[in-house]
Amino acid sequence: MSSAKPDGATTPAAAVETPLRRFASDYLESPVAAAGLAILVVILLLALLAPLIAPQNPYNLAEVDVMDSRLPPGSESMAGLKFWLGTDGAGRDLLSAMLYGLRISIFVGVMSCLVAMAIGASIGLVAAYAGGRTETLIMRIVDIQLSFPAILLALMLIAVLGKGVDKIIIALVAVQWGYYARTVRGTALVERRKDYVEAARCLGLSHARIVFHHILPNCLPPLIVVATVQAAHAIALEATLSFLGVGLPPTEPSLGLLISNGFEYVLSGKYWISTFPGLVLLATIMAINLVGDQLRDVLNPRLRR
Amino acid sequence: MTAPDAPTIEVDGLRTHFFTKAGVVKAVDGVSLSVRRGEILGLVGESGSGKSITGFSILGLVDPPGRIVGGAIRFNGVDLATLDGEALRRLRGDRIAMIFQDPMMTLNPVLRVDTQMIEAVTAHRSIGRTEARDLAAAALAEVGIASPERRLAAYPHELSGGMRQRVAIAIAFINKPDLVIADEPTTALDVTIQAQILYEAQKLCRTRQTAMIWITHDLAIVSSLADRIAVMYAGRVVEDGATADVVGRPLHPYTQGLIGSVPSANRRGQRLTQIPGMTPSLLDIGPGCAFRNRCPRAGDDCAADPAVLTVAPARAVRCVRPLLGVGA
C-alpha cells in the first residue's frame, strides 16, 4: 500500500489506475462505508482539536465550579458560560469533558492497537518463518492468551499494575497481541512458501530482511482489517474498565468514566450525563467497525468483483 | 585463485536425501558434474529426477526434512560443506545466483523493481543507494529492457511475463556471479519470448565468462543452448557429454527415449516414440538400474548397480548395456 508515491507521475499508464486509486474507488462504492469513514474523520478531528474547540478545559480545576454540577443542557454558569449539553456531577461542561474524554479514549485505543500490532505481528511472523517447535510454542502461548476472556485478563492486569493511561495501554496490549499474531502467522505461512521468498534467500538476504521487508508487506491487508476491528474493541474495553472504575483516574475522565459518573443520576431524570458520552462512544465504535468491514471486503482478494 | 581452466563448480557424488515419515527419499543419489567459466551445462531430466534439488544443494538451500548426506561441492576450489551458514549466505546472490521458473512468482509483488534490485546489490556490497540504482539501470539495459529508468519505478504486476524474467535475469547477473543456476526459466513463457530469454542469458554467460547450469526438462532447448548436457534419471546422472554427442549419439537408452519423444526429431507422419511407464517413486528404489523396468534393452545384468562407464574424455554413461556402436 506504499504506492502513494509520485512514481505515478513518471509512468503515465500507471497514473490512470494506481493501486491506491482503485482501492479508493472500491472503498467508496458503499455509501454506508463512506458515511462511516466521514463520521470517523469528524470524530478524529474533534478529538485532535479538543483543546481548541472545547468551551472549557475540564482538567483545569480553576475553570470548573462544583456549584454548576448536574445542570441540564442549555443552562448557563454563574460566569455566563453556556453548557450546551449540561454539566456532569463535578460541574464540568459535559461537551468539553466529552471532547477531552474522546481524546483519551481514542489515544488509548490507537496506541494499544499499534503496540499490540507491532508486537503481535512480529511474533506471528517469526513463528511462521521459523516453523517447527518455535512455532508450536509461540502459537500455544497465543492460544492460551486468547482463551482468557479479554475483560478478565485486563482487570487482573490493572489490579496488579494500578491506574493510569500507560497501565491501561499495557493491559490492552497484553489482551490483544494474540489476535495479530494469529492473523499474521496464518498469512505468513502462505507467503513464506511463495517463490519470491525462495528467490530472496537465493539473493543471500538476511532472515530479518526477508521477514520484515519481503513477507510483512504481503501480510498487511488482513493485518489492517484486524487492526481496525481491534482498535474499536480496545476503545470499548477501555470504556468498560473505566466504567468499572479501574481504568483511568477520575480527574481525567474518558468516555467510559463519564458514562459511569452519570449512570446513578439517570433514574432521577438527569439523563444527559451518561447518554451523550454513550452516544459518542457508540458512534465512534460503529464508525470504526463500518470502516473495518469495508476494508475487509475491499482488501479480500477472494471477494474481488 | 584457481587455475584458469579449473572448473568453477565441481559436484562430486552429491547425495541429498529427504527423511520423510514414509521413508527416505533419495532425491539426489550420487550426482557428479562440473562446469567451467563461460560454459553452459544443460541438466536434463523429467519431473522428480532431482535436477532442481541438485541446484538447491549447490546453493545450500535444502530445507528439512532434506539434507545433504554425502558427496562434495567444490566452488572455485572451496568445499562448500566447510563453510558456515553466514559464509554461504554471502556467497548466494553474489557469487552464485539463481533464476527461477515462474517470473510471476519470484518477484515480490508489493516491492518496486528498483527496491528489489538495489537490495540485491546492497546485500553484498557497501555502496550507496544511488550508485546501486545506477547499477540496476545498467543491468536492465543489458538484458534488453528499453527505458530501464521507467521500468525501475514499476511494480512487477505492471510488467509482462517476458519482461519480468528479464528483470530476474538482470538481478541474477547484477553482482557478476561466477555461477548462475537457471531452473527452467523459460518454461512459463511463450515460445517467442523463450527464444529471446535464451539469447539474453547465453549472451550474458559468454560475455561475462559465467559458468551456468541450465536445468530443464526440454531437451530441445538445451540442445541449442548448452555446451554440454548431463541427463538425470531418478537422482542420478545417467549420461554426460558434449551436446552434439549426447543428442546425436546417445549412449543411454533413457536419453535415446527422451530424444525420440521430441517432435522435431521425428519425421512428419511418423509416430512419436514414448518411454513406457512412469518415473519410479524415489522412496522404494532398490539396487540396480532405476530405468530397467522401462528400458527396452534391459536384461538380468541390469539388476546390479551400473557403474559409470567413461567412453571418451568428458563422455560418460551409467549403463551396463549402453548403445555403443548404434547410430553414428
Query: What are the residue ranges in chain B where pLDDT is below 50?
Result: 1-2, 326-328
How far apart (Å, rounded) are the C-alpha atoms in residues B292 and B276?
11
- Closest CA relative to residue B311, chosen from B227, B240, B207: B240
Q: What element of type H or E holds B211?
A: strand B211-216
Instruction: Grade residue A17 by pLDDT with cuts at 50, 70 and 90.
Output: low
Q: A82: which 3 cell numbers?
A: 453556556
Q: Which of A205, A209, A217 sits opposite B110 (nearest CB)?
A: A217
Q: Is the CB of B114 inside 8 Å of chain A's CB atoms?
A: no
The helix-helix angle for A255-262 and A272-299 (nearest 10°) equals 150
Q: Does B87 touch chain A (CB under 8 A)?
A: no
d(CA A52, CA A31) in angstroms, rounded, equals 31
Give chain B positions within 8 Å (CB) of A205: 93, 119, 123
Strand bridging mode B228-233 / B236-242: antiparallel
Counting Cα atoms < 13 Å in the Cβ hemisphere of B211 gives 18
Q: pTM of the prediction?
A: 0.78
d(C-alpha B93, C-alpha B109), whole Å: 20
Within 8 A of B65 by CB-CB distance, chain A residues are none
Interchain pair A204, B94: CB under 8 A: yes
SS3 content of chain B, % helix, strand, coil (to 5): 35, 25, 40
Residues of A in contact with B61 (CB under 8 A): 198, 201-202
Write out pLDDT tens, residues B180-199. Answer: 999 888 887 788 888 888 88
Nearest to B105 among A2, A14, A196 (CB): A196
Q: Which residues of B touch A194 (CB under 8 A)?
A: 105
The answer, yes or no, to whether residue A271 has pLDDT greater than 60, is yes
Domain boundaries, chain B: 9-95+175-318
Averaged pLDDT for residues A223-238:
90
- Helix and strand numbers, DSSP H then E, in chain B: 11, 12
Cis before B65? omega within 30: yes
Nearest residue in chain A measured CA to CA from B175 = A203
Instruction: Report CA-CA distances (Å) from A14 to B148, B161, B196.
Output: 16, 18, 26
Residue with cell string 499490540: A116
Distances in Å between the Cα of A303 and the Cα atoms of A295, A300, B23, B284 are 11, 6, 41, 45
In order of A10, A20, B77, B109, B270, the CA distances from A16 in angstroms are: 12, 11, 54, 19, 54
- Classify A151 as helix, strand or coil: helix
- What is the structure's pLDDT at A303? 59
| Nearest by CB: B61 against A202, A213, A218 | A202
Superfamily of structural domain A32-57+79-303: MetI-like (1.10.3720.10)
The reported pLDDT for the residue numbered B302 is: 80
Q: Do B123 and A206 touch (CB under 8 A)?
A: yes
Which helix (DSSP H) or strand (DSSP E) does residue B105 occupy?
helix B103-106
Q: What is the predicted ipTM?
A: 0.78
Q: Give the domain ranges of chain A.
A: 32-57+79-303
- Do A198 and B112 count as a contact with CB atoms less than 8 A apart? no
pLDDT digits (tens, 9 = 90+) for A77-134: 777 777 778 788 777 888 888 899 899 899 999 999 999 999 999 999 999 998 889 9
Residue with cell 545433504: B68
Q: What is the mean pLDDT of residues A3-29?
A: 61
Please tell me the CATH code under which domain B9-95+175-318 is placed.
3.40.50.300
Please check whether residue B78 is in contact with residue B135, taking contact to mean a CB–CB distance below 8 angstroms: no
Q: Rg (Cα) of chain B, in Å, rounded?
A: 20
Q: Where do runs of H (alpha helix) occur along A244-271? A: 255-262
CB within 8 Å of B94: residues ≥ 6 apart: A204, B123, B124, B175, B177
CA distance A195 to A215: 11
Mapping DSSP onto H, E and C, the string for A223-246 reads HHHHHHHHHHHHHHHHHHHHHCCC
The mean pLDDT value for A39-57 works out to 89
Coil, helix or strand at residue B71? strand
Beta pairing, strands B179-183 & B23-35:
unpaired
pLDDT for the residue numbered A34? 92
How do beta strands B179-183 and B211-216 pair? Answer: parallel
Any idea which residue has 474522546 for its cell?
A: A102
Chain B residues within an 8 Å CB radius of A201 = 61, 92
pLDDT in tens, B42-97: 999 888 788 888 988 888 888 888 888 888 888 888 888 888 888 888 888 889 99
CA distance B116 to chain A (A): 9
Binary contact (A7, B108; C-beta < 8 A): no
